[in-house]
Amino acid sequence: MTDLTELGVAAIRDGVAKGDFTAVEVAEGFNANVAAAQAALNAFIVATPEKALDAAKATDARRAAGQPLGKMGGVPIGMKDLFATRGVQTTAASHILEGFKPEYESTVSQKLWDAGAGMLGKLNLDQFAMGSSNETSYFGNVISPWRRSDGGNAPLAPGGSSGGSSAAVAARLAPAATGTDTGGSIRQPAAFTGIAGIKPTYGRCSRWGIVAFASSLDQAGPMARDVRDCAIMLEAMAGFDPKDATSLNMAVPEWEVGLSGDLTGKKVGIPREYRMDGMDADVAASWDRGIEWLKDAGAEVVDVSLPHTKYALPAYYIIAPAEASSNLARYDGVRYGLRDLPDGANLQEMYAATRADGFGAEVKRRILIGTYVLSAGFYDAYYTQAQKVRTLISQDFKNAFTQCDVVLAPTAPTAAFGLGDMVSDPLAMYLNDVFAVPASLAGLPAMSVPAGLNREGLPLGLQIVGKPFDEQGVLNAGLAIEQRAAFSARPERWW
Amino acid sequence: MSVDTATVAKIASLARIRVTEAEIAAMVPELNGILAWVEQLGEVDVSGVEPMTAVIENHLRLRDDVINADPLTGGGVRDAVLANAPAAEHGFFGVPKVIE
């Protein structure tokens, strides 16, 4: 029998439906992979093999009874530990939420369970989703399953913040995983690990029950091995939710049915400002190949300008910390999570001690920046200015989309870097999201697909950004690249 | 603009995060590095530009004005609300004494 953990979402769903194998066999296979890799990769904060098995048994029972199995019937997945899961510890990889067991289920995770998926466990991430390397987790670094081809064993970053998700999918610990993307946290880790991931239009997936980082940017999406699997899982995750004030009240398209790699009549924009001085040669070459692939798929390639690109990151590093400082005010040692009450401390001292003990260095750094830029006397100079620049960035895309249907760019300026290489310089780490952040600020659907390996044998991703609500156009351009890149590289198992 | 140790101490106090003097000393250059970098936004001509309020245009909705319109976010769930409290007492959140 084939190793069922080699299968992706579509193959598992179809195989279970046809009776080629049972959902329980699939869950057992992935549960075993999760357990075997935990010590080496640290991709999960909590494993829930019994949840995966229970969901699988339910799917097998429905099949036996002749009932429909759902879009994700029989597919076990990893859940980023930013989604509230009833009765299962939900930490956002922080000490301040250690031991927190929600009394409710997030909308997105509930939709996935309703669609027949099961939970393998809660995936590690950067603390409160703040980071690009998964090195800010209170529960330790996630180690990428990839290694450089030079024979060295230097541990590499799986990307961030959805680093547990990317590592788990790349290492075949899960056929797919949820991610969230605030400024690239689905796309950059997908690119670093040779998998696919899509951030849909802001509002497609409900934010209800997702631990909030920067609410005007946060958006959930799937991470999986290929474009089709992403389309299937996104259908299961998306949809209107009255509990989220910014949820889009729109029908969820049948993205899987609509998949087509034929781009005849489509125009692909190449943003000239993304071709930066000193660009990594392998990244530039990969981008050039992507352009040729999309031409081969029938698309016309046009030069477009996104003139405010260089201001996207600095605007993001005002807006996101500002929103984070507000959102994270809720962690006070009173209602849930950690409480640090020094002897004789009053209420204010308890708040300050709890937050000092419960937040990591990067989270504190962002709360302080956010508090500063929102403080009296500085608000207009920083926050209002950044929100005006955000308007201009959004207008750049609107203008570009009068000339093209999608934009093609690299996902990240580099392949995966080594763990520890960037931690001493927060700014250098922030710059890794230079190509990902503009689409976040504009709320646009964007995906990363694997495009090849660099000279060190590490994956590179290409990013497609689309018009609002045009996930189909993004997925189709992603599929056209996938069909031509024929990316079959995978990390050799060492864990 | 840049921050000094007194400003960082003030921000930390506003953010309710206890910091030691050594931590403040380490944060001053880090925060100044980030602030100097975001300063470049000042170069952008934003005359006549409205600050963004909604990235995707949407209408704020009103739900029906009824109690427990959605049981998930409704009332009557005291024990669930208190289930994760570090010091729940007598059906309330317990806190240090705030009135002398």
DSSP annotation of A16 reads H
- CATH architecture under which domain B5-42 falls: Orthogonal Bundle (1.10)
pLDDT in tens, A343-359: 999 999 999 999 999 99
DSSP letter, residue A161: S
| Predicted-complex ipTM score | 0.95
What are the pLDDT digits (tens) for A77-87? 999 999 999 99
Mutate which: A89, A368, A392, vs B, most B CBs within 10 A: A368
Whole-model pTM?
A: 0.97
Place of tokens 């937040």: A359
Flag whether pLDDT at A469 surpasses 80.
Answer: yes
Q: Which two tokens stand for residue A174?
A: 């899960």
pLDDT of B99 over the 80 cut: no
* pLDDT digits 0-9 by tens, A472-493: 999 999 999 999 999 999 999 9
* Mean pLDDT, residues B53-72 taken together: 86
Q: A339 with B86: CB under 8 angstroms? A: yes
For residue A106, whether the previous peptide bond is cis, meaning omega lies within 30 degrees of 0, is no
- Range with lowest mean pLDDT among A299-303, A335-339, B90-94, B96-100: B96-100
- Interchain pair B56, A203: CB under 8 A: yes
pLDDT for position B5: 97
How close is the nearest chain A Cα to the Cα of B22, in Å? 13
Would an 8 Å CB–CB cutoff place A375 in contact with chain B?
yes
- Taking only the tens place, the pLDDT of each residue in A136-179 is 999 999 999 999 999 889 999 999 999 999 999 999 999 999 99
| Band (A1; pLDDT cuts 50, 70, 90) | low
Q: Is A394 labeled as catalytic in the residue annotation?
A: no
Candidates B84, B89, B97, partner chain A, best to mutate (most A CBs within 10 A): B84
Alpha helices by DSSP H, A260-346: 281-296, 312-327
Decide which of A432 and A198 is more confident.
Answer: A198
Q: Are A55 and A76 in contact (CB under 8 A)?
A: yes
Rounded-to-5 percentages of helix, strand, coil across chain A: 40, 15, 45
CB of B66 within 8 Å of a chain A CB? The answer is no
- Residue A460 pLDDT: 98
Q: Over chain A, what is the mean pLDDT?
A: 97
Residue (of A45, A42, A323, A361) closest to A182 by Cα position: A323
Partners of B52 on chain A (C-beta within 8 Å) are 387-388, 390-391, 394
With a cut of 70, say whether residue A364 has pLDDT above it. Answer: yes
Distance of residue B55 Cα from the nearest chain A Cα, in angstroms: 6
Confidence of residue B97 (pLDDT cuts 50, 70, 90): confident
pLDDT in the model for residue A277: 83
Q: Do A334 and B95 touch (CB under 8 A)?
A: yes
Q: How many CB atoms lie within 10 A of CB A372?
A: 25
User: What is the DSSP track for B13-43?
Assistant: HHTT----HHHHHHHHHHHHHHHHHHGGGGG
Which A residues 224-283 touch B at CB under 8 Å? 242-243, 245-246, 248-249
Cβ-proximal residues to A317 (8 Å cutoff; 6+ apart), any chain: A369, A430, B34, B37, B38
**A80 carries an active-site annotation:** yes
Percent of chain B with pLDDT over 70: 99
CB contact under 8 Å between A368 and B18, yes or no, is no
Separation of alpha carbons A335 and A114, rounded Å: 30
Pair of tokens at residue A267: 């125009």
- CB atoms B56 and A367 under 8 Å: no
Distance CA A199, CA A225 (A): 15
> What's the pLDDT band for B59 if we cut at 50, 70, 90?
confident
Nearest to A373 by CA among A311, A318, A315, A430: A318
Catalytic residue among A106, A133, A144, A161: A161
Q: What is the pLDDT of residue B61?
A: 87
Q: Evaluate if residue A398 carries a pLDDT over 70.
A: yes
- Res A384: pLDDT: 97
pLDDT at A182 over 80: yes
Helix (H) or strand (E) run with residue A448 in it:
strand A446-453
CATH for the stretch A4-263: 3.90.1300.10
Nearest-neighbour CA in chain B from A347: distance (Å) = 6
Instruction: Kindly state the average pLDDT of the residues A427-450.
Output: 95
Could A336 and B52 be called an inter-chain contact, meaning their C-beta atoms sit closer than 8 Å? no
Residue A391 is nearest to which of B38, B51, B60, comparing CB atoms? B51
pLDDT of residue B73: 82
Q: Give the A window 420-459 contacts with B, CB below 8 Å.
A: 426-427, 441-443
What element of type H or E holds A47? strand A44-47
Q: Is A132 a catalytic residue?
A: no
Strands A446-453, A406-410: pairing kind: unpaired
Domain ranges of chain B: 5-42
